């Protein structure tokens, strides 16, 4: 049984975006229950030189939409990166999921050798579609989703492994 480029990308990203949305719902409920200003959680960092929760979510969604756009040949949606509330972060996740959900297998499958070029730190990094997904998108996306989970868990949100992985 073979696994297509589409199957290894869009459903995986959509599933984890859904989990990220549920994690944020729990965070918003936690803030309300405990009387915590949501901005405290949204701006939380693990260390001073790491991005806050809001930026972790922005990068995760940027990575997901970038993957869908680059592998399908669709134009890359641009977001303002100005979210300051749980509702705005949820809207960003939903907008990203809608974009991913519109991409079809026919647009992605067969693009394993498609050239993908990113500018990282001022330099061009060259990938094939497959190496871009496996060696950049999935690790980067999961890193930032994991950081969001870790930040909220550290700040007392009642999260467990099942919240990250989901029930399926």
Query: What are the residue ranges spanned by the domains of the chain?
Result: 5-165
Confidence (pLDDT) at 85:
98
Q: Could you tell me which of 111, 84, 78, 109 has the C-alpha nearest to residue 96?
A: 78
One DSSP character per residue, 18-76 reads: HHHHHHHHHHHHHHHHHT--HHHHHT--SSTTS--HHHHHHHHHHHHHHHHHHHHTPPP
Confidence (pLDDT) at 35:
97
Give the single-character DSSP code of 79.
Answer: -
- CATH code at 5-165: 1.20.120.450
What does each of the 168 residues of the chain score in pLDDT, given as a tens digit?
Answer: 689 999 999 999 999 999 999 999 999 999 999 999 999 999 999 999 999 999 999 999 999 999 999 999 999 999 999 999 999 999 999 999 999 999 999 999 999 999 999 998 899 999 999 999 999 999 999 999 999 999 999 999 999 999 999 876
Written as six digits, the tokens of 155 are 């700040």
pLDDT tens per residue, range 119-151: 988 999 999 999 999 999 999 999 999 999 999
């Amino acid at each position: 049984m073979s696994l297509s480029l589409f199957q290894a990308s869009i459903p995986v990203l959509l599933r984890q975006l859904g989990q990220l949305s549920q994690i944020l719902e729990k965070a918003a409920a936690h803030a309300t229950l405990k009387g915590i200003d949501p901005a405290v959680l949204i701006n939380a960092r693990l260390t001073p030189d790491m991005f806050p929760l809001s930026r972790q979510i922005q990068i995760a969604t940027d990575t997901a939409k970038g993957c869908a756009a680059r592998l399908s040949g669709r134009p890359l949606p641009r977001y303002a990166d100005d979210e300051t509330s749980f509702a705005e972060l949820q809207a960003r996740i939903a907008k990203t999921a809608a974009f991913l959900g519109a991409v079809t297998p026919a647009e992605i499958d067969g693009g394993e050798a498609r050239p993908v070029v990113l500018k990282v730190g001022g330099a061009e990094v060259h990938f094939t579609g497959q190496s871009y997904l496996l060696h950049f998108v999935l690790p980067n996306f999961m890193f930032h989703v994991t950081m969001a989970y870790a930040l909220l868990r550290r700040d007392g949100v009642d999260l467990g492994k099942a919240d990250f992985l989901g029930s399926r």
